Structure 1
């Protein structure tokens, strides 16, 4: 019966969630189900939710309620809610969220057909959270642009940062078998860029093999003929050792870019966050990376307004950022999440103070980024073409120091290019986030 239904899938939240959604779409395709991006034509909609922050939970609920409108004004019969939101909050969610017909947790995706059939048979709501297993390995259908893809190498987290719900949502750290990951990457087909992700990529293999296997995994991925280049995200600072640095430095397929969520710079706040590093160790790591891998681009994220953070500590974080000169940074106001240790800390920083501090961090980072990006003016960069920007009437792509969807871009003019191919672009100008240039053939 379900094979005759038309499905729509909405993926919210992070790139790790996107990978789960792509596997779910693959599962639906394997079953012979048809899919649509037009929700007004869908008979079943799956909302793969995020619950990391209060704002993400609100977006998830709003999306579910928006979908419910298609039950009245479209063809929609069933709403399936999956992912982090029901996994953590099903007890609070089930009774009030009557618009949803089926609930699945993060390990229950393969139960979607059983749950839907039960819902249709009894015309009842079905809670299947916790009824699945962790063996969800369907072939993926990419929802990114065709020339890049994310590879999720593990789930869960060991770190137990005091502000973070992830271990209570996703559970303990679980590495995926290396052979499975190599096969998955190979099955993705020709990808110009493979973006390696997890809650913490750098601990890969410790639980499964008893030793850290992240450098080995990267090396073996680089041997795949269909993978042209590899980018690393979510590298935990205290696990970045000599072997990993050497693999990044010596492997031509690994982009000289690393994402290291530092979260803060001040020792007292880092300790309250249950982060293992210090201001001194972070600066030493940055210096070592730049010494060992010239021109490496380092990206990071920081939280401001963490409970008890003083104005002096905030100013010290700004000083740290000026010294570190990171090319790409994301800044977030601390979000007080239920069932976390940080939520019980006192005093909490006033919301207006948090917003002001984040605003100041972004203003300062714009100056740092513009200075660093301006150093590329007059130089030639290799740029991976992502497509056409019709508003700017030019092509758009990314240099080595930009990850998809989160970093700045290169806008350039060229006579003829293809999406997913790399071109040499001469940079003419820069602003705080982006570069602008043209290929040699366009200049002549």
Structure 2
């Protein structure tokens, strides 16, 4: 059996592609090893969305290339968004790499890699532009997450054309999987022990826009509720202006859809939102937050904000701070705008200096940290269902889990100081302490399923 070492960079959507490659390569006789020195195949699935991600990917490739140089029998393969974005430039600059595969082609990774080891394929590039591949339930996939939780990628690509975003050029236009196909995968994941299924896409609310027959997010959720018994269904990455009242009402009526919404606002200034080509205004955001809190009162709201967009002024940032102070959102991620060649925003005037972006980032993060600390206090004294992840990463004397209001690998967690349960159990935990992003509690009851 041949050995492989895989590094997956970037978002959960990219991780699903990595899991597909893992499954396909295992079918070809590869087994995973943690030590790259022991691996015959070195594989990096890259992100190329913004400059820091590009730099991280290149650093990782060069690190694995050291092992390739020490042992010429090894093969180094690079896949994903970085390849799709930079293509032939990478091939020129990284002669250490045996094979490059873009965002369309990884579904053939088994045969491509086998060809490399059999000497049937020379160093090369597998690149299709625009990418058209869309995974389905039949594809081999090996989960890299714990067996009790998984990501379900319901679409590929995006049609929104935000001016700062490279995703449509890297991933192509919107392509939705059918409801039947997604339910088939969800049923199989449940049979494998999944108890939390997180639906992901570049824009979850765009699901089905390219399909006929009334296939949309609400219909998909209805089928998942009817045909699985997975206790927690979670929604990530919903576009603000297309969150329907019917979706919120479905969440209110179906407790298995956890009360949590990740809705990237990106900004609150109408002027900046127009420059970003976002299809919502500050007033729309006000209405959305009011609707969420009226229809799904418990719902935790997460958003992301971008500071330092070209033309952003101090007044625009003050609007952001004022809105955050008034809205009191549960989770906020703040990012500094990156000037990406090829994006529409790259051509805009009035760039914001790096030190100004850094100051604005720190200011907004500081404001939100205080808000988060206050929001966390509402849970102290409450008993909440918690999905147990296992022994804590902080200390083997603690267990660790998450409430319905904390998404995996994104938000904080619950540290459990007393009680025992198996990973994957959903247990009742009384919250005893709150910190800025994490909670502390004790188990008061066993598995609730």
Deviation at 1:76, TM superposition (A): 5.5
Cα distance change on mapping 1:211 and 1:92 into 2, 3 Å: farther
> Following superposition of structure 1 onto structure 2, how do residues 421-432 of structure 1 map, counting pairs within 5 Å?
421-432=425-436
Deviation at 1:347, TM superposition (A): 0.7
Deviation at 1:119, TM superposition (A): 4.0
CA distance in structure 2 between the aligned counterparts of 1:360 and 1:181, rounded to whole angstroms: 42
Deviation at 1:136, TM superposition (A): 4.3
SS in 1 for 2:93: coil
Question: What does residue 376 of structure 2 align with?
Answer: 373
Question: What does residue 259 of structure 1 align with?
Answer: 262
CA distance in structure 1 between the aligned counterparts of 2:20 and 2:76, rounded to whole angstroms: 18
Contact 1:162 1:340 in 2 (8 A): yes
1:397 equivalent to 2:401? Answer yes
Uncovered stretches (5+) of structure 2, i.e. residues with no partner:
none
Deviation at 1:68, TM superposition (A): 0.8
Question: What does residue 151 of structure 1 align with?
Answer: 152
Cα distance change on mapping 1:212 and 1:182 into 2, 3 Å: closer
Deviation at 1:122, TM superposition (A): 6.1
Contact 2:25 2:109 in 1 (8 A): no
Deviation at 1:255, TM superposition (A): 0.1
Contact 2:331 2:372 in 1 (8 A): yes
Contact 1:326 1:369 in 2 (8 A): yes
CA distance in structure 2 between the aligned counterparts of 1:334 and 1:34, rounded to whole angstroms: 40
CA distance in structure 2 between the aligned counterparts of 1:360 and 1:135, rounded to whole angstroms: 41
Length-normalised TM-score, structure 1: 0.95
Question: What does residue 125 of structure 1 align with?
Answer: 123
Question: What does residue 185 of structure 2 align with?
Answer: 184
> Following superposition of structure 1 onto structure 2, how do residues 102-117 of structure 1 map, counting pairs within 5 Å?
102-117=99-114
CA distance in structure 1 between the aligned counterparts of 2:268 and 2:364, rounded to whole angstroms: 13
Residues 326-383 of structure 1: per-residue CA shift (max 9 Å, x gap): 1001000001111011111111000011011111111111110111111221221111
1:308 equivalent to 2:305? Answer no
Question: What does residue 346 of structure 1 align with?
Answer: 349
Candidates 11, 35, 52, aligned match of 1:55:
52
Cα distance change on mapping 1:76 and 1:338 into 2, 3 Å: farther
Question: What does residue 168 of structure 2 align with?
Answer: 167
**Which segments of structure 1 move beyond 6 Å, counting only runs of 4 or more?**
none
Deviation at 1:34, TM superposition (A): 2.4
Cα distance change on mapping 1:375 and 1:136 into 2, 3 Å: closer
Residues 410-433 of structure 1: per-residue CA shift (max 9 Å, x gap): 111233211111121111211111
1:99 equivalent to 2:96? Answer yes
Matched residues, number:
439
Cα distance change on mapping 1:374 and 1:200 into 2, 3 Å: same
Uncovered stretches (5+) of structure 1, i.e. residues with no partner:
none
CA distance in structure 2 between the aligned counterparts of 1:115 and 1:141, rounded to whole angstroms: 19
CA distance in structure 2 between the aligned counterparts of 1:375 and 1:103, rounded to whole angstroms: 50
SS in 1 for 2:391: strand
Contact 1:42 1:76 in 2 (8 A): no
SS in 1 for 2:152: strand
Cα distance change on mapping 1:95 and 1:210 into 2, 3 Å: farther
Residues 385-437 of structure 1: per-residue CA shift (max 9 Å, x gap): 11111634211111111000110111112332111111211112111111112
Residues 243-290 of structure 1: per-residue CA shift (max 9 Å, x gap): 211111111210011100000001000000000111111011000110
Deviation at 1:81, TM superposition (A): 0.8
> Following superposition of structure 1 onto structure 2, how do residues 245-284 of structure 1 map, counting pairs within 5 Å?
245-284=248-287
Question: What does residue 13 of structure 1 align with?
Answer: 10
SS in 2 for 1:149: strand
Deviation at 1:46, TM superposition (A): 1.4
Contact 1:44 1:76 in 2 (8 A): no
Contact 1:219 1:251 in 2 (8 A): no
CA distance in structure 1 between the aligned counterparts of 2:110 and 2:422, rounded to whole angstroms: 40
Deviation at 1:12, TM superposition (A): 0.6
Residues 169-215 of structure 1: per-residue CA shift (max 9 Å, x gap): 00100001221111111222221110000000111111022655111
Length-normalised TM-score, structure 2: 0.94
Q: Which moves more between the two structures, 419-428 or 146-155?
A: 419-428
Cα distance change on mapping 1:135 and 1:411 into 2, 3 Å: closer
Question: What does residue 416 of structure 1 align with?
Answer: 420
CA distance in structure 1 between the aligned counterparts of 2:224 and 2:215, rounded to whole angstroms: 16
Question: What does residue 37 of structure 2 align with?
Answer: 40
Deviation at 1:115, TM superposition (A): 3.3
CA distance in structure 1 between the aligned counterparts of 2:73 and 2:168, rounded to whole angstroms: 34
